[in-house]
Amino acid sequence: MKVLLCYLPEKFGRGRILHALPPLGVLYVGTYLKNQGIEVKVLDAHVKGWSLKKTVEFISVFKPDILGISALTPHIFSVVQLVNEIRNTTKIKICLGGPHATAVKEEIFDYADVDFIINGEGERNFSKLCSQLLISQNYDDIKGLIYKRNGDIITNEGIEKINDINDLPFPDLDLIDYQDYRIVDGAGRYVTSIIASRGCPYNCLFCEVPLSQGRTLRLRDPENICEEIKLKNDKYHIKDFVFKDSTFTINKKWIYTLMDHFLTKGLKIKWTCNTRVDCIDLDMLKMMKKAGCRKISLGVESGNQTVLNNIRKNISIEQIEEGANLISLAGIDAHAFFMIGNPGENKYTVRETIELAKRIKVTSSVFAVTIAYPGTPLYLWAIKNHKLKSNRWYLNFSDKIFFQNPEQVSGGQLLLDDLSPEEQLQLMKRAYREYYFRPKWILGLIIQRKFMFMLNVIRLFPRLIFVFFSRRKTKGNKVINK
């Protein structure tokens, strides 16, 4: 049995990516298979920036028995392109997994000629699938597996859930070229992503994590996390770690224990994480700083309380300001995420968001238009209230980059009464202009000696200028029509 796992770009042939982290989803699956004695390779065509032709050639040379593809919604057109090319040249089995597959399930058969769809967590299910391909091709006992039998679509009952995620092997970086990965504000030569938990108990309108991982929070043991960090520090000389958990500090008792392990074991690392403004306090932040935390990213989303309530964020403007202030007091950089185009948004609420971004004590901010991803509560709300151009908006693409293309309105944006998708896009660019072209922000970087961050920003400067100041609009080309 030979298995190839692919992580694809939004668009083939963009060239090598300068800001990317290892794809944990396929790495977890690949490592699980490797430990089962299966020959497996992982291809990250995204970070390598490969063309469709080169990707197909790689698959043809390796000749896997089964190809597994991880699919996020922004990647679905690349998935369709790759599947179509493979079907023209070979008859290998193809399995699709990831958040998009979990969200839309059987729908995928309408536009992608795949053999199997993994619903939910893939490590055990994909391993069972590989075994059954070798033995009997009887898939009845694989929970949640979706496949075709004699022209009929079969959906197995249940869903595979790994209750104790400590049982999973550490993602094996030997499966990828770990030197390929960099981040703009990195703290070392090499960087990797790491995850300490699965699941999220919160109910944010726009988030797909509860769908793909469930609402029950499953935490890894601190000892288990430290073992993975030490292994990657010793073997690969990685000193910069990015925790990808949605809310890293949700369990304060666990955080204190984990930080104590970091300190007592003398881990000489720097790391970043994501959290909510209502899940931190100053004592905890000071301990995190002492244990190597250099940056915390906050999901702020909006500067208007009504909009925050509409998206079920369950935080207040006062908590946002206080949370950012606490992180600053602890000596940690804060980074903020903002969304433009949520339910109830208008140009005045966006103005409040921009002013909040400039007011709170954060080192950097990202502004993005709101996208209604399939399977999320926001998507279901948008369908019910006729706020999308098409239910399958993700099958309409431009020739350029997906939803982050600053020229291109996405079909996933909401059709709001008081703020059109075109206006959302222009206000996003205005937010970037007002935020980053401030003498106060530039002077702050100089005072804080953020020289590497400044160097990377300068490298991206032509692209940033285009993003911030371009007003040209284009219409997407409909490449798939279902």
Q: What is the pLDDT of residues 427-478, one digit of tens each?
A: 999 998 898 888 877 777 666 656 556 555 555 555 555 555 665 444 433 3
Report DSSP state, residue 221: P
* Rg (the chain; Cα; Å): 22
Is pLDDT of 355 > 70?
yes
Residue 362 is given by DSSP the state -
Amino acid identity at 345: E
The two tokens of residue 231 are 């292994």
pLDDT tens for 395-405 read 886 534 444 45
279: its two tokens: 């899940």
Mean pLDDT on 328-346: 96
Query: Model's pTM, two decimal places?
Result: 0.90
Fold of 2-148: Rossmann fold (3.40.50)
Between CA 74 and CA 11 the distance in angstroms is 9
Which CATH number among 3.40.50.300, 3.40.50.450, 3.80.30.20, 3.40.50.2300 corresponds to the domain 183-469? 3.80.30.20
Tally: H helices and E strands in the chain: 18, 15
252 pLDDT tier (thresholds 50, 70, 90)? very high
Euclidean distance between CA atoms 463 and 460, whole angstroms: 6
- Please state the domain extents for the chain: 2-148, 183-469
**pLDDT of 296 over the 70 cut:** yes
Mention every residue, 6+ apart, whose C-beta is less than 8 A from residue 50.
Answer: 9, 12, 13, 58
> What 3-state DSSP class applies to 182?
strand
